[in-house]
Every structure is written in structure tokens, then in C-alpha cells.
Chains A and B, each alone.
Chain A
Amino acid sequence: MEKTVNQRAWFLVIPVLILVAFSSIIPMMTVVNYSFQDTFGGNNFFWVGLEWYRELLRSERLWDAFGRQLLFSSIILLIEVPLGILVALSMPKKGISASICLVLMSLPLLIPYNVVGTIWQVFGRADIGLLGRTLSDLGISYNYSQNAFDAWATVIAMDVWHWTSLVALLCYAGLRSIPNAYYQAAMIDQASRWSVFRFIELPKMRGVLMIAILLRFMDSFMIYTEPFVLTGGGPGNTTTFLSIDLVKMALGQFDLGPAAAFSLMYFLVILLISYVFYTVMITADKDEAQS
């Protein structure tokens, strides 16, 4: 399916461009400006060049947080994407049960981030929460505010609970858009369930799946409110992710310069990883189209 070259298509894109540029480029430039300067309060800024960047790259605390962040995002993607696909495939196709499933599944997505953290904070407590209580009744010692492993397990469970439905809903919508003729053709060919999935459903889901993976990567890499409310970055520093560190610096210590430099590097890392992923997906798409 070759696209035609048509420069007039720009006119269709211009409204989006203006709207997004207004709220993205101007604030971004302000942040870039901060990152090269230092201030002692008020409006007195002076130029420090790349000093903040150099300092941050030497900071061990930052690298530790970065490592934790990478680990967290990888675990999240490895759990949520396959689980989301599985759920999308298992959902009823039509009727009242499909409606019920859709509404129920979307519930966690609609809960504001700070409430999500609060729910799991109470839910996991061994004295008053259902999860904590059940686990300790089963004889498993569980305490997310003391034990690093439990804290990680709780943060991951919370994120899976919160966001798997996003992947599932996108995949489900992608699956619904496959014409029935494809399935009928597969049935005539007596294709196995696996090959239906591999050669019909997966390629048709590729577009929405790419969005789902990119969204989950970016959002999990910038996760802030939920783990902050749940564990506050503890015990110790074990669940201090990059954004928690960043906010500590920006709001806690009012170091606008280093915080701006930090957030720009943060942004560049996300940009780089997403770009690599995007390029890989696009190339795979082209190969598929050619073969």
C-alpha cells in the first residue's frame, strides 16, 4: 500500500502543529534557559554553562535511580504487554458481557494517580488492608514499608493493576477491526489457533500495539505520583525512581538550574529509547510490506 506524495497534506496537519507547538516549544525553551544558569532567588540569573550537566553526570545517586528506573520499566513492559494481549484475546466479542467487561476494565484507568497510590497504601497494610492481611494470614511476612522486595512487588502490582487495561483495550479495539473474512479464510485453511494469532491478529494489531508499548514505556519511565504516595521512595532509596529524585531536587531544594538540566537529560533518554524503538518498528513494517 504505497502512499502518494501530496504536499498539500500539510494543511491538514497545521492546526495540530500550532496547537502543540504553543504549549511545548515555549516552555521547553524556558527550561533550556534555566539549565544553563544559576540563581540565588529573585530574578537574578547568571550563566554557568554546562556546569549542571557535568555535575549531574558524576552524581552516583542519579545513576542508581536511572538503573532502578530502567529495571522498573522493563519489568512493567514484560508483564503488561503479554498480559494485555491475552486479556484482549479472552474478552467476549459482543453482547452484554462485552460491555460489562469493557466498563469494569476501564475503571482503574479512571482513578486519579494520587488516589491509586492511596488505595494500594491501605490495601497493602498488614493491619487494615485486605492484601496485607491475607498475606500475613497465609504466613507470608509482608511489609512494603520495611522490606525492599515487598515494596517493589507492591509498586509493580499496582502499576499492572492500573495500566494493563490500557494495553488490553487498545489491542481489543485493534482486534475488533479485523474483518470477519480473515477468520473465515483461516478456518477454511484449518489454521491452528496459534497461526491465526501469529499471522492474522498480531500483524493487524501491530499499529495499536506500538502505541501501547510506547505509551507504557514513557509513562512508566516518568512514573511519579503512585510510588511516591505508596512508598515515598523507600524503604531507604530502593523505590526512588528518577522522577521522585527530580521533584525532590526541583521543589524540595529549589535548585531550578540542576533540576532543569536533569529534566532535559531525562527527556533526552526517553526520546532516544523511544526513537530506537520507533525506528525498529517502522523498519519491521517496511520489511513486512515488501515480503
Chain B
Amino acid sequence: MSAAKKNASARKPKVRLSVVVMIVYLLFLLVPIYWLVIMSFKSNSEILGMFTLFPADFTLKNYQTILSDPSWYMGYVNSFIYVSLNTVISLSVALPAAYAFSRYRFFGDNHLFFWLLTNRMAPPAVFALPFFQLYSSVSLFDTHIAVALAHCLFNVPLAVWILEGFMRGVPREIDETAFIDGYGFTRFFTKIFIPMIAPGIGVTAFFCFMFSWVELLLSRTLTSVEAKPITAIMTRTVSASGLDWGVLAAAGVLTIIPGAIVIYFVRNHIAKGFALGRV
């Protein structure tokens, strides 16, 4: 009784501390975003001319510029297509590979695992030109699939790494019990294993989506008109008369929205955690 009481009283201030930490951290994250959002509702003269915490002259003109011009809004569609393609490809090849790495020992496994990650380490600036030559030579230039494949370079290793981490946390006894119960590998993998690591898959899908969404250099190099991504179109706001801050801010706000929707859908997978007792 007294121990329980002590426990309860010891817990209370910690709960409050964590709330404070969260609030401070979220404020730190949101204040610059707030600045971006209100900038998108201001006219350029207001952005550059004065300091206002709230748009004095509220305008939707910046959004109108983007949403009424196909060369602007098709950028979002293009980005969305290749990002989705990339996420699907990355996850479907990474799942079996991550399982192999987490469960078996085979020739060269550790080296291979590390080699995968080295593909993320190449500074992209110089690799852009060879990429352009490679994809032109297989006539994939300016297609969505080209960008999706190129982004596999950094997303597949990441997916394998993250998934392997989650799979290692699943006790091997579960595999063994399932095999003894007469499950084949494919059925075990899809029916039992994948639901068990759903949080890991959710997180991985989100990261693949994110890294592909924000990447600028490769997607800009590999496209010209048909598949031009929004991040590349955005650089167009730099003109001779200086930066069009308002439109740039509006475009920035619109790039956050699809990702926010994705995280909203995977949040439950992330938050649900493992239910070890269910199998």
C-alpha cells in the first residue's frame, strides 16, 4: 500500500515533466511552420516591407497562382506518382530481404548488409550526370518510373535496415511454432509475420515516402516536362525581380499536406506497438 502510494507520488512529477518537454519541443517545431503558413497568406510587399504576426492584408492570391496553373499543380501529381511507386517497390523488395538478414546467417551477410547502406553515402552532386546518362540510355528519361527506381538507391537500403531492426525484435520461437504448425513460408510470412511487424512497416513506408518526397537533385536531373516534381518547379519562383516569397511559401505549405495525410494513416501502426500475445 505504502509502496504503491510512493510509486504514485513519484510518478506524478515525471508525467508533468514529459508534458512540458513535449510542449516546448512542439512549439519549437511549429513556430517556423507558422511563419511559413502566414507568409503564404501575405502579399510580397507585406512580407518584405513590414513585420506582422498575422497577415494584415489576408490574400489567397498565392494559392490561386499555383492551383490555377497546370504547370504548377501537375508537379504535385508527378511527385505523388513516383513517390508512391517508390514506396511500393522499396517495401516489396525490402521485406523478404530484411527477413533473411534478421533470421539467417549466409555467405557474406554482414558485408552485404553494410554495403547496402553505403549506397546512401555517395554525395549526389556528382552522381547526377552519370544517372542522367544511365537512364537516358535505357530510354527511361523523364518518366515516373525512372525517378522511382533512382530513389530506390537510398530508400531500399533504409527500408531493409529499419525493417531488420523491427524483425529482430520478434522472437524466433514464433517462426518455429508456425512452421511446426504446418505453415508454409509464404503463408507464414503474409498471414502471421507481416501483421506482427505492422508498426515497423508503417514507419518504413513513411520514411520511404518522406525521403523520396523531399529529394530534389536526382528527381530534377531525371525529368524535364512529363514527370517534373514539385520541388523542382518551386525553384522557378526565383526570377530576375528576386524571389516570389508568397508563392514559394504557398507551394511549401502545399508540399507538407500529402505527407501529413500519410503520417495520419500510419500513425496507428506506429502507436499500436506489438501484441505478442496474439499469435
Binding site for B on A (CB under 8 A): 1, 3-10, 12-13, 15-17, 19-20, 22-24, 26-28, 30-31, 34, 83, 86-87, 89-94, 98-99, 101-115, 118-120, 122-123, 127-131, 133, 161, 164-165, 169-170, 172-174, 176-179, 181, 187, 190, 193, 204, 207-208, 210-211, 214-215, 218, 222, 224-225, 242-243, 246-247, 250-251, 256, 259-260, 262-263, 266-267, 270-271, 274-275, 278, 282
**Other 17 A-B pairs with CB < 8 A, given A6-B104, A114-B216, A211-B162:** A1-B171, A3-B105, A4-B105, A5-B105, A10-B107, A17-B112, A27-B134, A87-B22, A101-B26, A109-B210, A111-B33, A119-B35, A123-B35, A128-B50, A207-B168, A243-B123, A271-B118
Mask: chain B, 241-261; 1 = CB below 8 Å from A; 0 = not: 001010011011001100110
**Which of A177, A210, A211, A256: most chain B CB closer than 10 A?**
A177
Given A30-B133, A104-B29, A218-B120, verify A177-B273 contact (CB < 8 Å): yes
Q: Which of under 10, 10 to 19, 20 to 34, or 35 or more describes the interface residues of B?
A: 35 or more
Query: Please, could you name 23 A-B residue pairs with CB atoms under 8 Å apart, sorted by A?
Result: A10-B106, A12-B99, A20-B116, A23-B153, A30-B133, A30-B134, A90-B22, A91-B18, A106-B206, A106-B263, A108-B29, A110-B214, A112-B214, A123-B35, A129-B35, A169-B270, A174-B165, A211-B161, A214-B117, A225-B216, A250-B126, A270-B121, A278-B117
| Interface of B (DSSP majority class) | helix
Check if B114 is an interface residue, CB within 8 A of chain A: yes
User: Would you give the shortest CB distance from A141 to chain B, in whole angstroms?
Assistant: 17
Residue of A161, A260, A262 touching B28 (CB-CB under 8 A): A161
Contact B116–A16 (Cβ < 8 Å): yes
Query: Which residues of A have CB within 8 Å of B121?
Result: 218, 222, 267, 270-271, 274
**Which of B32, B114, B231, B256: most chain A CB closer than 10 A?**
B32
Query: Which residues of B have CB within 8 Å of A170?
Result: 162, 203
Residue of A107, A176, A181, A266 touching B273 (CB-CB under 8 A): A176
Query: CA A216 – CA B17 in complex, angstroms?
Result: 27
Query: CA A94 – CA B123 in complex, angstroms?
Result: 39
Check if B169 is an interface residue, CB within 8 A of chain A: yes
Query: CA A5 – CA B48 in complex, angstroms?
Result: 65
User: Would you give the shortest CB distance from A104 to chain B, in whole angstroms?
Assistant: 6
Contact B158–A215 (Cβ < 8 Å): yes
Contact B126–A176 (Cβ < 8 Å): no
Which B125-164 residues have C-beta < 8 A from chain A?
125-127, 129-131, 133-134, 149-150, 152-153, 156-158, 160-162, 164
Query: CA A91 – CA B59 in complex, angstroms?
Result: 36
Smallest CB gap from B119: residue in A: A24
Contact A263–B125 (Cβ < 8 Å): yes
User: Would you give the shortest CB distance from A216 to chain B, in whole angstroms?
Assistant: 12
Check if B213 is an interface residue, CB within 8 A of chain A: yes
Contact A19–B149 (Cβ < 8 Å): yes
Residue of B99, B125, B260 touching A251 (CB-CB under 8 A): B125
Query: CA A98 – CA B126 in complex, angstroms?
Result: 41
Contact B260–A122 (Cβ < 8 Å): no
User: Would you give the shortest CB distance from B185 to chain A, in whole angstroms?
Assistant: 10
Smallest CB gap from B160: residue in A: A16
Contact B263–A103 (Cβ < 8 Å): yes
Smallest CB gap from B25: residue in A: A87
Query: Which residues of A have CB within 8 Å of B235?
Result: 114
Contact B156–A107 (Cβ < 8 Å): no
Query: Which residues of A have CB within 8 Å of B48?
Result: 128
Smallest CB gap from B271: residue in A: A98
Query: CA A67 – CA B247 in complex, angstroms?
Result: 38
Query: CA A213 – CA B103 in complex, angstroms?
Result: 24
Check if B180 is an interface residue, CB within 8 A of chain A: no
Query: CA A193 – CA B10 in complex, angstroms?
Result: 10
